[in-house]
Structure formats: structure tokens, C-alpha cells
Amino acid sequence: MKLLIISAIVASSVMGASLIDEAKTAGLKPIPANPKAIDKLTSNAKNPTTSAKVELGKMLYFDPRLSKSGLISCNTCHNLAIGGTDGMSAAIGHKWTSNPHGLSSPTVYNAVFYSQQFWDGRSPHLEDQAQGPIQAGPEMAAPKDFVTGVVNSMPGYVSMFQKAYGKDVKITFEKVADTIAVFERTLVTPSRYDDFLNGNKKALTKAEQKGLKTFIDKGCTTCHNDIALGGTMQAFGVVAPYKYMNVGDFKGDKNGMVRVPTLRNVTQTAPYFHNGQMATLSEAIKEMGRIQLGVDLRDDETASIQTFLQSLEGKKPRVIYPMLPSATLTTPKVDVVNN
């Protein structure tokens, strides 16, 4: 009996080790266990991360006064308390405007690992991406000079920019976006899945390991790979059309490619797909199998993959809601009625 138990333990250990190798061969990569290694991966050499920039970026991220209405902040659509998104099928912005293309808000958590930003991949990095929603009419609808007027009118912000960038800093719209991006680069969520790929064979349960094996064997790693388990541009509807493709007018980039969403924390980011038409994770998994892999996943296979995906729920960084600088008489006024 004792020999059988020992043999089972050894067999389980060997299976875990071989699955780790198989996952890495399939293109899956963990978030490093070493904080310094994470910093190296997430930092932008042209916009280095410092504690002063992170704190200032967090304030700007949560400040609704950067929007034309004074009501919408980055956190409105990318709510850090509920998975980094808003739970809506289409993003809602200025004057309660629904996204004109029917697009949902993707999570901001782990977006630093994407090769390109936005559903159509038009932005190369977070610094560039952060400029878009602030100015976009259906989102925050704030012109560049409005944003810089708000920030420069508040001594508290001016002081923090000087602390972060030096006393001679010129506070431009681009500098505001860069600083928000520095904060967003810290929104990384390591999980038990990462512990497993980093060598802890007991980090995942047997059911989760079975789900990972199914995930690999069915070909899900073709698109959902690397650290983000997504984040690259891929063809969409490879073998069959997505059944809700007519909801909204989004068709991808000029080549029909779509930025693959991360699967990290996917249990918290419903509804699914670019237009938020899939309410449940099991429904989304089955549809992916049908349109991307050309397979009709059985219920047990779908459940197994979903069990694995639950292990991707990561540890969120601790974010304390910031107290923002006071407005002054020179702060641009918001016309709620006309805006």
C-alpha cells in the first residue's frame, strides 16, 4: 500500500513537470516570480517607472476632471475593483454615449504585456493608448488644451509633476498620458498558474492541470499564448463566422485581424468578445472552439478548460483610492448642461 502511494506521488510529480514543459513548448510563459524581473518586463526605457510617477499616474487615472463632463475617469470604463473593465457589452462614455462601433472595454490589468493596444491594434504601447480615450468624443471627450489646463491650474498636480520629472518639467497632454501609462504598467496580476509554470507542480489542482492539458491539446494556445495568454493580432473567425459579428460595425484592422484579449482574470471580465455578446465563459469557450479551431467542444471539455481558466485569477496590486488635488479659480469650468 505504501509503495502504491509513493508511486502515485512520483507519477503526479512527473506529470506536473512534463505538463510544464509542454505548456512552455506551446508558447505559454509565466509572469516571473522575481519582482525585479517583472519590473524589467513592464518598464518602458523611454518612460522609466518611479514611485513618484506611479503615484501621480494613479491620481490622474482616477481623476474625472480630465474629462469634458467632469464625470468620467479612466477607472470608469476600466474599473480596477471589478476586473479592470466595466461589465458592459459596449463602453458607455460622454453624455451616456454607447461606443459607436459596439466595442466593449477590455481589461487594463496585464495590458502591459500586449504587443499592441486597442481591439484593432492601432496603438503600439500604453503611453500612446492612454491619449486616445481622453480625447475621443464617445469616451472622455476632452481636448488636449482642456486637459493641460486642468492639470496646470492645480498647484497640487504641478508640485507632483515637478517631483516626478524635475522642476523644469513642462506639463503637456502627452506627459499626462505617459504618467497614466506608468501607473497602468504596474497593474500586473500573478496567479497560481504562474507559480505552476515557474516550477511549483502543486500550484494547480489535478483538475486544473487536466484543463490546461485540454487547453493545449485543443489548440487554444495558437492565439492565447505568451505571458498575457493573448495580446497579439490574430485572424478572427478562422473556420466559421462569429455568430454575433453583425452586432456593431467592427471588422478588425485593415487585414481583418483582431487583438486577442488576455485570458488572465477572465472569470471577472464578462461579457466576452469585442462586442460583449457572450454572457458566460462556457458559451465563449464553445464559440471559440467552433469559429477558431473548427471543433465542437463537448461539455466535459468545455468545463475542463473553464476549470483551468479559473486558475488565471491573479493577485491584484493593492490600490488605495487617491485624494486628488483641489481645483482653483483658474481650473477650466465644466458646463454640465451643454457638455
Q: Quickly list DSSP for 171-217.
A: --HHHHHHHHHHHHTT-----HHHHHHTT-TTSS-HHHHHHHHHHHH
- The Cα–Cα gap between 144 and 276 comes to 30
Residues 112, 124 contacting (CB under 8 angstroms): no
Alpha carbon separation from 17 to 25, 198, 206, 300, 314 (Å, rounded): 13, 10, 13, 24, 22
Q: What's the grid cell of residue 259?
A: 487583438
Q: Which of 22, 55, 139, 283 is catalytic?
A: 139
Helix axes 144-152, 173-184, angle to 10 degrees: 80
Distances (CA, A) of 279 to 153, 213, 261: 44, 25, 16
Dihedral angle computed from the Cα positions of residues 85, 247, 116 and 35, in that order, rounded to the nearest 10 degrees: 30
Q: Measure the CA–CA gap between 268 and 85, rounded to whole angstroms.
A: 9
CA angle 311, 316, 322 (to 5 degrees): 165
CB-CB contact of 44 with 181 (8 Å): yes
Buried residues in 265-278 as b, exposed as e (16+ CB within 10 A):
bbebbbbbbbbbbb
Task: Read off the C-alpha cell for 232.
Answer: 497579439
301 as an active site residue: the answer is no
Q: Which residues are catalytic?
A: 139
